[in-house]
Amino acid sequence: MVSIWFLIGLLLTAYGVLIAAAGIYQVLVPPAQPPVLAGLHAGIWWGLLILAIGLFYCWHFQPRKTK
Amino acid sequence: MLRLFVPQTNVLAALLAGAPERLVRLGSIDALIVILYFAMVIGIGFYLKRYATTGEDFFLAGRDMSAWIAGLSFVAANLGALELMGWASAAYQYGILATHWYWVGAIPAMLFLAIVMMPFYYISKTHSVPGYLKLRYGEGARGLSAITFAAMTVLMSGINMYSMALVMKVVLGWDIHFSIWVSSLTVAVYVFLGGLLSAIFNEVLQFVLIWLGALLIPILGLMEAGGWNGMVQRISSNLTGDYTHLWRTLGSFQDNPMGIHWTGIVLGLGWVISFGYWTTDFLVVQRVLSARNLHAARMAPIIGAGFKMMVPFIVILPGLLGIALLPEKLVGESVAAATGGHSYNEVLPLMLARYCGPGLLGLGITALIAGFMSGMAGNVSAFATVWTYDIYGAFFRKGASDSHYVSVGRWCTLIGVLISIGTAYLVMQFLSIMDYVQALFSFFIAPLFGTVLLGMLWKRATPAGGFWGLLAGTLSSVGMWLWVKLDPPALGIIALSSNAKDMAENMYRALWSWIICVLVTVLVSLATRPKPQSQLAGLVYGCTEIPSERELKLTQRPIFWAGVVCAVFLLLNVIFW
């Protein structure tokens, strides 16, 4: 059976890419009504953090490594 | 039955008519994130169907879960609407006092389950809490417990659906009926296919998403407020009264926004309601019963307790930050419907919309949906197990084949979801989700805790004592609730003060019903013939050989980690005293 952590890793990797990309896009094309503290660019660093977690889970719990 | 829902639909229509415009509009990235989530949970259900063929697989996940999986699932099953929206709402109304439901109202009970009660549940090889009562007390106590649990479970599930639909309405402007049906049918599909295994896998996934989606709110909120001290100063300037201390204001009913005394928190919540919920509510206990051995089953609640202590950071803190930072004052549900303002229950989505742009918003919404679905799945899978084994298998068709019970369990999942959808509309009548849930807990959970506790720790408790004690406790709780509804001054007798509010009333009603249950159980037991000790092996303290853990290293022993969690728990209470 595939580890649940691997499945979580897959989803987080996809989410990390999407969120970081959306954050970068907002820097390039600022929205008309930005959220509070938009200058912190939370989307970029939070997306990258999620991407890192996702990639780690995918690597560490990949099916060939787990019995 | 349909006629019953007509007035509810009218109430709903009135609420929607008074509701403000949607808070946000999901972009394509956000929509993609939500769609990916739905695809993943349904995909997990289809993938795990092949592993859920026997009753043990479908109802107890094959009893093969690790301590971490069982522990995270144990907490995630409780992270439903109640935790996310309900307690953020309670924090906005009552301040940091709401944290008691996470700390004194959870941690001691979870550790007690791990260290004291888990061996009896696990060694007896019961498939459910009513199943334990059958082994210990006989069919009467099992039937009563199973029926009340099944009723409570579908009501809880209805609360989850209602809360989710509220979020979708407020944040996205989605049709409330669409939200209820899409989320509930998704849960029905994946639990129908993979049973508890699928529910547990999804709960772990949902737990991770909830944290990643909700954690940004307190982080950014504290940055905006100027840290904890800045937030406290803003709250002090916005409101009168102490909203930021856990124990300091509990010396008198009038000194705190909840209108409760510390005895209510410690005895009603910390003892009866908390121990009742975390040690006898099959919704959460089922997750631990899925552990692969007794050691994992004891570690799971301890791991769960560690994570439970941190949940206020993503639930209570946003509520407090809402008091400090939101420009408008939130009001009760009925006032919000009449004025077009925002209600307490909307504080979490309001904070989400405040800080999250495209992408993050989709993740935040996914976290909320995940929370609602994990709570719903927990209720549905527990309902299916109790209905199949403890009602259908006990009273309608005994001795059927394993595959027949699996089939019944699958269909119970669908039926349970449909009943829950119906109850979702009934929830609309109540002004506060929290108070409603607390009332339910005190009806059923508090007396059940008395019955199970005496069953595990007192050899002399008899089948008749267990049944009549449970019945007396439950009926007395319902009776006290009706008494206060029909004669409001009775509140001064039940809750020891006419200044007590709903929360306090629920705490004390739970305490009295537990005391009545214990007294009746003891008196009836002393007057009736006990079971011979040979029939109590594996069920009662003193008749059960519990495997020693002395050969394990200190850091592998559950008691060591229970001590660590207990120390952190005490430290947190001192810090926020």
CATH code of B197's domain: 1.20.1730.10
Among A4, A46, A53, beta carbon nearest to B204:
A4
**Would you call B341 an interface residue with chain A, using a CB distance cutoff of 8 Å?**
no
* A52 shares contact with chain B (CB less than 8 Å): no
Q: How far is it, in rounded angstroms, from Cα B269 to Cα B251?
A: 16
Q: Is residue A52 part of a domain?
A: yes
Average pLDDT over residues B279-286: 88
pLDDT at residue B27, rounded to an integer:
85
Contact B359 A19 (CB under 8 A): yes
Contact B357 A47 (CB under 8 A): no
C-alpha span between A11 and B36 (Å, rounded): 8
Contact between B7 and B426 under an 8 Å Cβ cutoff? The reply is no
Report the SS3 class of residue B331: strand
Residue of A nearest to B352 (CA): A35
Contact of B442 with B407, CB cutoff 8 Å:
no
Please determine, for the modelled complex, whether the ipTM score is greater than 0.90. Answer: yes
Is A9 an interface residue toward B (CB < 8 Å)?
no
Tell me if chain B has a CB within 8 Å of the CB of A56: no
Work out how many domains chain A is built from and give that number: 1
B29 interfaces chain A, CB cutoff of 8 Å? yes
What is the pTM for the complete model shown?
Answer: 0.87
Tokens of B431: 């002004």
Report CA-CA distances (Å) from B558 to B114, B224, B272, B305, B550: 8, 41, 24, 12, 11
CA nearest B206 in A: which residue?
A8
Check CB contact under 8 Å for B358 and A31.
yes
Confirm whether A67 is domain-assigned.
no
Going by C-alpha positions, the residue among B214, B162, B472, B496 that lies closest to residue B360 is: B214
User: A35 and B353: CB-CB below 8 Å?
Assistant: yes
Give the largest Cα separation in chain B, rounded.
69
Weakest-pLDDT range from A20-24, B494-498, B558-562 = B494-498
Assign B562 a pLDDT band (cuts: 50, 70, 90).
Answer: very high
* Contact flag A15-B33 (C-beta cutoff 8 Å): yes
- Interface A-B, measured as beta-carbon pairs within 8 A, has a size of 89
Provide CB contacts within 8 A for B120, sequence distance 6+. B132, B456, B538, B539, B540, B541, B544
Chain A residues in contact with B197 by the CB 8 A cut-off are none
Q: 3-state SS string over B160-203?
A: HHHHHHHHHHHHHCCCHHHHHHHHHHHHHHHHHHHHHHHHHHHH
Is B243 in CB contact (< 8 Å) with chain A?
A: no
Higher pLDDT, B270 or B239: B270
So what's the pLDDT on residue B255? 74
Residue B201 contacts A where some CB pair is shorter than 8 Å = yes
**B572 neighbors B103 (Cβ within 8 angstroms):** yes
The pLDDT score that the predictor gives to residue B80 is: 67
Longest dimension (CA), chain A: 51
B40, B223, B360: residue with CB nearest A19 = B360
Q: Which of B167, B363, B348, B369 is nearest to A43 (CA)?
A: B363
Tell me if B177 sits within 8 A of B9, measured CB to CB.
no
How far, in Å, CA of B185 to CA of B505, rounded? 36
Angle B412-B539-B462 from CA coordinates, rounded to 5°: 95
Q: Please report the pLDDT score of residue B18 as a whole number.
A: 44
Q: Token digits for B383?
A: 């309902």
Which of B314-323, B337-346, B396-405 bottoms out in mean pLDDT, i.e. has the lowest? B337-346
What is the number of structural domains in chain B? 1
Mean pLDDT of B248-259: 77
Measured between beta carbons, the chain B residues lying within 8 angstroms of A40 are 220, 223
Task: Note down the domain range covering A21.
Answer: 4-60
Query: Tell me, what DSSP letter sits at residue B127?
Result: S
pLDDT digits (tens, 9 = 90+) for B103-134: 999 999 999 999 999 999 999 989 899 999 99
What's the pLDDT at B465? Answer: 95
At B136, the amino acid letter reads: R
Radius of gyration from C-alpha coordinates of chain B? 23
How would residue B16 be classed by pLDDT, with cut points 50, 70 and 90? Answer: very low
Beta bridge pairs of residue B331: B343
The residue range of the domain holding B321 is: 2-575
Q: Which chain A residue is nearest to residue B25, measuring alpha carbons?
A: A33
pLDDT band with cut points at 50, 70 and 90 for residue B5: very low
Task: Choose among B27, B355, B362: nearest Cβ to A35.
Answer: B355
Look-up: residue for tokens 């989530």? B37
Q: Do A15 and B36 touch (CB under 8 A)?
A: yes
Beta carbons of B205 and A4 less than 8 Å apart: yes
Q: Does B66 touch chain A (CB under 8 A)?
A: no
Rounded mean pLDDT of chain B? 85
Is some CB atom of chain B closer than 8 A to the CB atom of A30? no
Query: How far does B395 lie from chain A, in Å, by closest CA?
Result: 36
A4 touches chain B (CB under 8 A): yes
Residue of A nearest to B212 (CA): A50
Q: Tell me, what's the pLDDT at B2?
A: 27
Collect all residues of chain A within an 8 Å Cβ-Cβ radius of residue B353: 35
Q: Residue B79: CB partners within 8 Å, gap ≥ 6?
A: B206, B207, B210, B311, B371, B374, B375
| Rounded Cα–Cα distance for residues B373 and B34 (Å) | 13
The helix-helix angle for B176-214 and A4-28 (nearest 10°) equals: 90
Which residues of A fall within a CB distance of 8 Å from B210?
A: none
For B268, residues 6+ apart whose C-beta sits below 8 A from its C-beta are B504, B506, B507, B508, B510, B511
- The per-residue pLDDT for range B160-204, each reduced to its tens digit, is 777 777 767 777 788 888 888 888 889 899 999 999 999 899 889
φ, ψ for residue B528, nearest 5 deg: -125, 170
Cα(B439)–Cα(B435) distance, rounded to whole angstroms? 6
> Per-residue DSSP letters for B285-319?
HHHHHTBSSHHHHHHHHHHHHHHHTTTHHHHHHHH
Q: Is A15 in CB contact (< 8 Å) with chain B?
A: yes
CB–CB contact A7 B363 (8 Å): no
pLDDT, position B78: 81
Q: Please give the C-alpha separations between residue B296 and each of B133, B550, B551, in angstroms, as whole numbers.
A: 23, 16, 16
Three-state DSSP at B343 gives strand
Is A43 close to B360, i.e. CB distance below 8 A? yes
Residue B425: both structure tokens together:
């509309």
pLDDT confidence of B378, banded at 50, 70, 90?
confident
Distances (CA, A) of B554 to B66, B79, B377, B385: 19, 31, 36, 36
Q: What is the pLDDT of residue B21?
A: 59
Q: Which residues, at least 6 apart from A27, have a Cβ–Cβ distance to it below 8 Å?
A: A41, A44
B208 CB within 8 Å of a chain A CB:
yes
DSSP-assigned letter for residue B65: B
Residues of A in contact with B201 (CB under 8 A): 4, 7
Pair B142, B389: CB distance under 8 Å: no
**CB–CB contact A15 B44 (8 Å):** no
Q: Helix, strand, coil % (nearest 5) of chain A? A: 70, 0, 30
CB contact under 8 Å between A22 and B357, yes or no, is yes
Q: For residue A65, is it within any domain?
A: no
A40 near B CB under 8 A: yes
Test B36 with A11 for CB contact under 8 angstroms.
yes
Out of A18, A34, A38, the one facing B29 most closely (by C-beta) is: A18
User: Cβ separation of A1 and B360 shorter than 8 Å?
Assistant: no
Is residue A10 assigned to a domain? yes
Nearest CA in chain B to A20: B359
